[in-house]
Amino acid sequence: MTRIRIIFNSLKIHSISDIIYVITAKDSRSLSWAFVRFQEFYESSNENFRGNYFTMKEYKDWWSSECGSGNFTYVDIWKGYNISGHTIGSWESIFRKKEPKLRNEEEFLLQLLHSMLRKKNKTLDQIYLIGLVEESFDAKDDAYLHELSHALFNLNVIYRKKSLSLFKNLPSSEKKIAEVTSCKATCGYSKDVFIDETIAYKTSQDQAFRKLLKETLISQDIPFDEQIMSIKPEKKIVLITGFEPSNEYPENVSGKLAKSLDQNIIDSWKIKGIVLPLRFHEMKDAIEQAIEKYQPSMIIGTGVASIREIRLETIAKNLLDNPRIPYNDGQVFSNKIIQEGAPDTLEGTLDVNSIKFSLINEKIPVKISTDAGTYGCNQAFFHVLYYLKMQGMKIPAGFIHLPFQWNLAEVERAFRIILFSSLNMTSDITRSELKSQFSFLNFWRIRENYRDDLPVDELLKEILDIKLQWKKITYSDYPEIYEEFYDFIPSKYHDHDNDDIYWNRINEPLFEMLDISNWFSNRYINRLTLDDDELENFWAKFDAELKDKTRSKKGKTTHAIFMPMNEKGLRTGKLFIIRKKIDPNKPK
């Protein structure tokens, strides 16, 4: 039985200008395993590799023998990479002819790059790619300056001329030292790129070269400031609110939760937790000031109630009506409008169904509620939704009631699941935003008690034998599926001028879709040992295995994994198998 042990750390792609993209990895080994064949195809000192097809084994054997004293030290030496989009296109056309199934790291890198190009409406010939370790993705880091110099040397004629002029004016001895230090001629680079490499080396060592780089970056509107500017992508903010203690709830766990989560980091999100005053006028000001200050991309309010389960509130009322219980400033309200001129009710925008699904899977009691009460919690919920509405801020926002008797540890455990679900599954998914991605639902990574590997053959067999309903889908149902799986479409449907018009007109379902989200979660999720950094590579491998085992007699691919994502690249909580439509009249 085939078993997979994944060691690859996930890659991320960033756009720092219209034509310069950066792919980052968490460590140099992960970065190197993804870039090695691309980079050596471009600039290897060995003519057998440069511009030619070669296997990973061939390169490892050569490097180990000639450069690594018997070991493949390549992945431990290089910290940055650079390559033109045109070269990547040449590489892909040559290597795919020899290896229809590329290495997983390479497939994922190409998937990231092509996805970004589609979003930016660019072609490979128009861009330049840099590879960096995450910690080097910083304007003050020498590795970042080094790779930016490569990009500008190849893209910007003025930069190239001025940097060559600086290079020619260097003393001969300094040129030689720079060449030897930067180029490592035997095992490093082709002589064709020696000057480019030397200039990049000098950029991180010489003030004149660095000044030229800075001036060029500024002229191209690429942010750069050696003293204060970090190019690292800013974390998005999720604002979490809780309440101060009150006479009714002197140990208000929602306030403790907000304090506990404050400043925590989850993937690309940073949590800002604040404790709201239980005072009518102060509460509104505190909410508006927090939103203005932190500019959150999501807001989750919390409060406590005399309940036995978590309640995901969906409706906020423009009403306060609880004359029995005073606010902390002594005020009581009966049938009071919260905001004059505002609607009677406002709806929250959190994906409560996905949150409920996640909590149920962890055996945490939960309900979806349409009644947030008429006291402080409802007031906070309404203020948030109304302020967002008036400011035109279309971000997910909601409110969650917690059982007052739960301790902080219990609440933190539940909220960890809520956050992973909320931050990685949004409710604004539409058919036009669906994206196919070799990746997995992030919220599944939070589970514990995993095994060290997964029997892929066993999993595939059960998926293929699964007794669930395949749904026929037309182009009008899911146009993105038709675009992503174009190769699945029979050639007879290609003989026309406009795919959109043609497929909409015939409205014939060419694909079938099987939703295995719940089934897979219930049956297999607790067997996964893969951590956050390994999941992407696992699903690329799994997709390849699925395609291999379901090929037609003519060797054509018939099945693939499809994971919907929204326009922000966030998971929607669904996992599908896509296949060509089965013709019941066609003999098997």
Which CATH number is 341's domain given?
3.40.630.20
pLDDT exceeds 90 at position 180: no
Lowest mean pLDDT among 18-27, 307-316, 322-331: 18-27
Say if residues 71 and 172 touch (Cβ distance below 8 Å).
no
Phi-psi region of 301 (alpha: psi -120 to 50; beta: other; left: phi over 0): beta
- Residue type at 114? H
- Decide if 434 is inside a domain: no
pLDDT exceeds 50 at position 3: no
Q: What is the pLDDT of residues 492-538, one digit of tens each?
A: 665 555 555 555 555 677 778 877 765 555 444 433 434 444 555 66
Instruction: Quote the percentage of the chain above a pLDDT of 70.
Output: 70
Cα→Cα distances 249→304, 308, 416, Å: 8, 15, 23
More confident site: 204 or 329: 329
Name residue 403's beta-bridge partners. 305
Instruction: Quote the percentage of the chain above a pLDDT of 90.
Output: 27
- Decide if 226 is inside a domain: no
Domain end call among 219, 245, 278: 219
Kindly state whether residues 399 and 256 are assigned to the same domain.
yes
Look up the domain containing 383 and give its range: 236-427
Residues 6+ apart with CB under 8 A from 172: none
Give the pLDDT of residue 191: 67
Kindly state whether residues 38 and 174 are assigned to the same domain.
yes
Q: What is the number of residues in the chain?
A: 588
- Decide if 435 is inside a domain: no
pLDDT exceeds 80 at position 29: yes
Give the pLDDT of residue 342: 94
pLDDT exceeds 90 at position 158: no
The CA distance from 56 to 32, in Å, is 12
Kindly state whether residues 181 and 258 are assigned to the same domain.
no
Give the pLDDT of residue 257: 94
Other CB atoms within a 10 A radius of the CB of residue 334 amount to 10
- The arithmetic mean of pLDDT across residues 185-190, rounded, is 58
The CA distance from 278 to 245, in Å, is 8
**End-to-end alpha-carbon separation of the chain, Å?**
28
- Decide if 433 is inside a domain: no
pLDDT exceeds 50 at position 372: yes
Kindly state whether residues 210 and 245 are assigned to the same domain.
no
357 membership: H or E segment, kind and range? helix 352-361
Q: What is the pLDDT of residues 4-20, one digit of tens each?
A: 222 233 678 888 888 88
pLDDT exceeds 80 at position 177: no
pLDDT band at 222 (very low <50, low <70, confident <90, very high): low
Give the chain's mean pLDDT: 76
Kindly state whether residues 387 and 498 are assigned to the same domain.
no
Kindly state whether residues 389 and 422 are assigned to the same domain.
yes
Kindly state whether residues 194 and 251 are assigned to the same domain.
no
Kindly state whether residues 366 and 265 are assigned to the same domain.
yes
pLDDT band at 117 (very low <50, low <70, confident <90, very high): confident
Helix count and strand count (H, E) for the chain: 20, 19
Write out the DSSP string of 117-143: HHHHT--GGG-EEEEEEGGG-STT-HH
Task: For residue 400, give the nearest of 247, 260, 288, 240 by alpha carbon.
Answer: 240
Kindly state whether residues 178 and 65 are assigned to the same domain.
yes
Question: So which residues are the catalytic ones?
Answer: 313, 377, 401
The CA distance from 527 to 453, in Å, is 8
Per the structure, the count of domains in the chain is: 3
Kindly state whether residues 257 and 286 are assigned to the same domain.
yes
pLDDT exceeds 70 at position 86: yes
- Decide if 231 is inside a domain: no
Say if residues 458 and 466 touch (Cβ distance below 8 Å).
no
Say if residues 385 and 397 touch (Cβ distance below 8 Å).
yes
Kindly state whether residues 86 and 149 are assigned to the same domain.
yes
Q: What is the pLDDT of residues 418-433, one digit of tens each?
A: 887 776 533 232 222 2
- pTM for the whole thing? 0.41
- The arithmetic mean of pLDDT across residues 320-341, rounded, is 93
- Decide if 44 is inside a domain: yes
Say if residues 350 and 300 touch (Cβ distance below 8 Å).
yes
Domain end call among 396, 427, 458: 427
- The arithmetic mean of pLDDT across residues 70-87, rounded, is 85
Kindly state whether residues 33 and 173 are assigned to the same domain.
yes
Domain end call among 192, 219, 246: 219
Give the pLDDT of residue 141: 82
